[in-house]
Amino acid sequence: MRYLQNDHTNLEWEIHSYPVTEGDGNPCQVILLEQNITEKRKLEAELIQSEKLAAVGELAVGIAHDINNPLTSIIANSQILLADLPEDKTDLLQCAHLIELAGTKATQVVHNLLTSARKVEFEFTSIDLNESIQNALLLLTHEFISRDIKISFNRGNKMLYIFCQR
């Protein structure tokens, strides 16, 4: 049985009745056992949620493995293109660089997924903020070009490195 309290929280009770019989087998009294099982239900719900998260973590590890293999191929092939393309093919070089950068970013997303699935502590590191901004702008270059947006980025000298979680 559930009971809604004034503070809108539920109390959950388990109620059992046991008849007490006379010598002739007819019931003369009833023993009523009422037990508050609210905390038990909360713990059961937390356990179920925990099991779901563990299953999602296992699924994430499997998916990450399946995604990492093609990403490795994409990054390797873009690096081969970068090495083999003549320097005067700037458009093609930029495209190959964007492919490599996108593959690297996707690999980082997979790494972050695995990190969260494994409950690893946060690892903080020093990164070049200018480089991060430049890489983000490179990833969006095709969007800027297709919408005829011109972006100007001047690397700041005062914000060279920041300490953050990657």
pLDDT tens track for 45-92:
999 998 998 888 888 888 888 898 899 999 999 999 999 999 999 999
Asked whether residue 111 is domain-assigned, the answer is no
Give a yes or no: residue 41 inside a domain.
no
On whether residue 31 sits in a domain, the answer given is yes
Angle between helices 129-139 and 90-117 (to 10 degrees): 110
Establish if 12 belongs to a structural domain.
yes
**CA angle, 91 then 82 then 142, to 5°:** 35
| Inside any domain, residue 43 | no
Task: Measure the CA–CA gap between 16 and 40, rounded to whole angstroms.
Answer: 17
Kindly state the tokens that stand for 105. 């970013």
- Taking Cα atoms as reference points, which of 45, 51, 99 lies closest to residue 75? 99
Question: Residue 147 has which token pair?
Answer: 């919408």
Residue 101 resides in a domain? no
pLDDT at 120 over 60: no
pLDDT at residue 117, as a whole number = 65
- Quick one: pLDDT at residue 98? 93
- Domain assignment present for residue 23? The answer is yes
Domain extent, residue 148, equals 121-166
Q: What is the pLDDT averaged over residues 31-37?
A: 93
Instruction: Using a cut of 0.75, tell me whether the model's pTM lies above it.
Output: no
Question: How many domains does the chain contain in total?
Answer: 2
Q: What percentage of the chain has pLDDT greater than the value 90?
A: 40
So what's the pLDDT on residue 58?
83
Domain-located, residue 87:
no
